[in-house]
Amino acid sequence: MSIPGFLNESSTDFSIPQHRDDMERALRTVALQLGRAYRLLIDGKALTADKTFQSINPSRKSQVIGEFPCADVEHVDQAVRAAERAFAAWSRVPAAERARILFESASEMRKRKNEFSAWLVNEVGKTWREADADTNEAIDFLEFYAREGLRYDGTHAVTPVAGERNGIVYIPLGVCAVIPPWNFPLAILVGMTSAAIVSGNTVVLKPSSDAPAIANRFAELMFSIGLPPGVLNLVTGAGSDIGDALVSHPRVRLLSFTGSKAVGLRINELAARPQPAQRWIKRVIAEMGGKDAIIVDRDADIDLAASGVVASAFGYQGQKCSACSRAVVDRAIYAEFVEKLQSLTDALRVGPADDYESDLGPVINERAMSTILDYIEIGRREGRLVSGGGDALPDSGYFIRPALIADVDSDARIAQEEIFGPVLAIMKARDFDQALTLANDTEYGLTGAVYTSDADKIERAKREFHVGNLYINRKCTGALVGAHPFGGFNMSGTCSKAGGRDYLLLYTQAKSIAEKIID
């Protein structure tokens, strides 16, 4: 079979009336499916649990997305054991067959793109465009990792030695616990899960309690394509209840986590402690938070920079690890730039995510809303609130007006701590030197951008701006699979690159085989 080269999925143009109608129809179809009771999926069986929890539409607090079982420690053990049993066969399934599952899942998801996006709109408050981007990225991960799985297959050449037939093969590791966040509940979940599966591992997937319905949709899709039972096991429940049991389970071989710094560090620590009967050092892939900065230099195209900063800061309500939460602006253009930011920000429409006209939807839940509003209060003391904040909006959901806080010092809490909401700290820099120092002055190192027309400054930024994903004269969000392999430095994670050509190495181990040639 000849496989065309990888290309990113195109976004849907909702300005075309037909596309809008299609999405409206998908939203209506999904609305009819809300409120269902779900099951745990372990070894191909649907199981209930004693306790349940609800997932809620953040645009409409009274709307229940679904009712989900709270798995207990016993379920976690069952799921790991099922995955371990399935590993024996799945690890020997030819790479072409494993890749086929991903290719067909991608093709099915493409056919049902609006339906998947409609779930994202409902369950996590993504606007149409953001939901479409999330689904497209999920399709990209499936397509990209399927090709990568094929590329890593077989025996790879090593330095030849006379009298030996030598090579290296990449073999799977075992049971992989996949623990994704709620903010890209399709793309990131699909990326981590499909990378593990295509490499020949089996998975226990514990989705975020804010996005369990989307995880279910994906699991159903994979099984409908023919994924054998036990290769993917889905356990829902609070990370605080079952997380430790999953992470410390002696039969788990690797952990693929994306989420906050606090949880990532805990997982890393717990995974490092060997348990009785554990035969390996667990591998931990942890992609964590960010406090991403955009530098706006005095030589920048100010309009381009202002729209880039606003898109990076407030896209999906600032709830992206890549979101710009600090704008570091040269003093020569500071006042003018803040004014431009203000007028762009004030023009943003905040409203229910299913309304096509909304630029920003709600934040994810009540706790996030209260944390973000607290940070805005802290920001009022640490700087000057220029725009937005906690103004009254429909109280049907968790809506916050995007906030601009100017004149913030680098040691301010809102300049150091990840807020994960629509709050931008604006900082003044004396010159480009100081701008770089300020931009690097956090424990994180995920994304960053520089707007300047000066070629020397661009070169300096390439050398000195210490982030995993650096962008020049464009926004710092919207990484594309394959084109912008994604992952950060320092406390932003273990330096993996999702959507990159070395990502599957993290889900495999290399076996070097030397065979003496006997005549």
- Residue 262 CB, nearest approach to ligand NAD (Å): 7
User: Residue 57's beta-bridge partner residues?
Assistant: 60
Between 209 and 442, whose beta carbon lies closer to ligand NAD? 209
Cα–Cα distance list, 49 to 34, 238, 447 (Å): 20, 13, 40
The residue ranges of DSSP E strands in 191-331, in sequence order, are 202-205, 232-234, 252-258, 283-287, 292-296, 324-330
503 lies in the site for ligand NAD, by CB under 6 A: no
User: Which residues have a Cβ under 8 Å from the Cβ of 239 and sit 6 or more positions away?
Assistant: 179, 206, 208, 209, 263
CB 146 within 8 A of CB 106: yes
263 lies in the site for ligand NAD, by CB under 6 A: yes
- Residue 288 CB, nearest approach to ligand NAD (Å): 5
- Residue 464 CB, nearest approach to ligand NAD (Å): 22
Q: Which two tokens stand for residue 475?
A: 């926004």
**Quick one: which of 172, 230, 289, 482 contacts ligand NAD (CB under 6 A)?**
289
Between 397 and 485, whose beta carbon lies closer to ligand NAD? 485
Between 170 and 503, whose beta carbon lies closer to ligand NAD? 503
Binding mask 269-288 for ligand NAD (x = CB under 6 A): ------------------xx
Which residue is it, tokens 């007028």?
343
User: Residue 429's beta-bridge partner residues?
Assistant: 330
Neighbours of 10 (CB within 10 A): 8
User: Residue 81's beta-bridge partner residues?
Assistant: none
Dist. CA 446–CA 488, nearest whole Å: 4
290 lies in the site for ligand NAD, by CB under 6 A: yes
Catalytic residue among 70, 176, 321, 324: 321
Q: Identify the three-state secondary structure at position 390.
A: coil
Between 207 and 308, whose beta carbon lies closer to ligand NAD? 207
Dist. CA 191–CA 108, nearest whole Å: 16
Between 202 and 258, whose beta carbon lies closer to ligand NAD? 258
259 lies in the site for ligand NAD, by CB under 6 A: yes
354 lies in the site for ligand NAD, by CB under 6 A: no
| 287 given a catalytic annotation | yes
Between 114 and 492, whose beta carbon lies closer to ligand NAD? 492
182 lies in the site for ligand NAD, by CB under 6 A: yes
Categorise residue 277: left if φ over 0, alpha if ψ from -120 to 50, beta otherwise: left
By rule CB under 6 A, what count of residues binds ligand NAD?
34
297 lies in the site for ligand NAD, by CB under 6 A: no
Q: Identify the three-state secondary structure at position 303.
A: helix
315 lies in the site for ligand NAD, by CB under 6 A: no
Q: Which two tokens stand for residue 349?
A: 């429409």
Cα–Cα distance list, 4 to 99, 143, 146, 228, 445 (Å): 14, 10, 12, 27, 35
Q: Which two tokens stand for residue 304?
A: 């381009």
- H-helix segments, 199-259: 212-225, 239-247
Q: Identify the three-state secondary structure at position 441.
A: coil
420 lies in the site for ligand NAD, by CB under 6 A: yes
Q: Which of residues 446-475 bind ligand NAD (CB under 6 A)?
A: 446
179 lies in the site for ligand NAD, by CB under 6 A: yes
Q: Which burial class, exposed, middle or buried, applies to 248 when counting CB atoms under 10 A from its CB (0-12, 13-18, 19+)?
A: middle
- Residue 207 CB, nearest approach to ligand NAD (Å): 6
Between 143 and 210, whose beta carbon lies closer to ligand NAD? 210
**Quick one: which of 201, 258, 490, 508 contacts ligand NAD (CB under 6 A)?**
258
- Residue 80 CB, nearest approach to ligand NAD (Å): 14
Express the helix, strand and coil content of the chain in percent, nearest 5 each.
Answer: 40, 20, 35
Between 249 and 298, whose beta carbon lies closer to ligand NAD? 249
260 lies in the site for ligand NAD, by CB under 6 A: yes
Nearest to 184 by CA among 206, 146, 211: 211
123 lies in the site for ligand NAD, by CB under 6 A: no
| 321 given a catalytic annotation | yes
- Residue 241 CB, nearest approach to ligand NAD (Å): 9
Binding mask 203-242 for ligand NAD (x = CB under 6 A): ---xxxx-----------------------------xx--
Between 114 and 127, whose beta carbon lies closer to ligand NAD? 127
Neighbours of 489 (CB within 10 A): 15
**Quick one: which of 122, 268, 492, 508 contacts ligand NAD (CB under 6 A)?**
492
CA end-to-end span of the chain, whole Å?
36
- Residue 409 CB, nearest approach to ligand NAD (Å): 23
Residues making contact with ligand NAD (CB under 6 A):
179-184, 188, 206-209, 239-240, 243-244, 247, 258-260, 263, 266-267, 287-290, 321, 418, 420, 446, 487-488, 492-493
Point out the residues that are catalytic: 287, 321
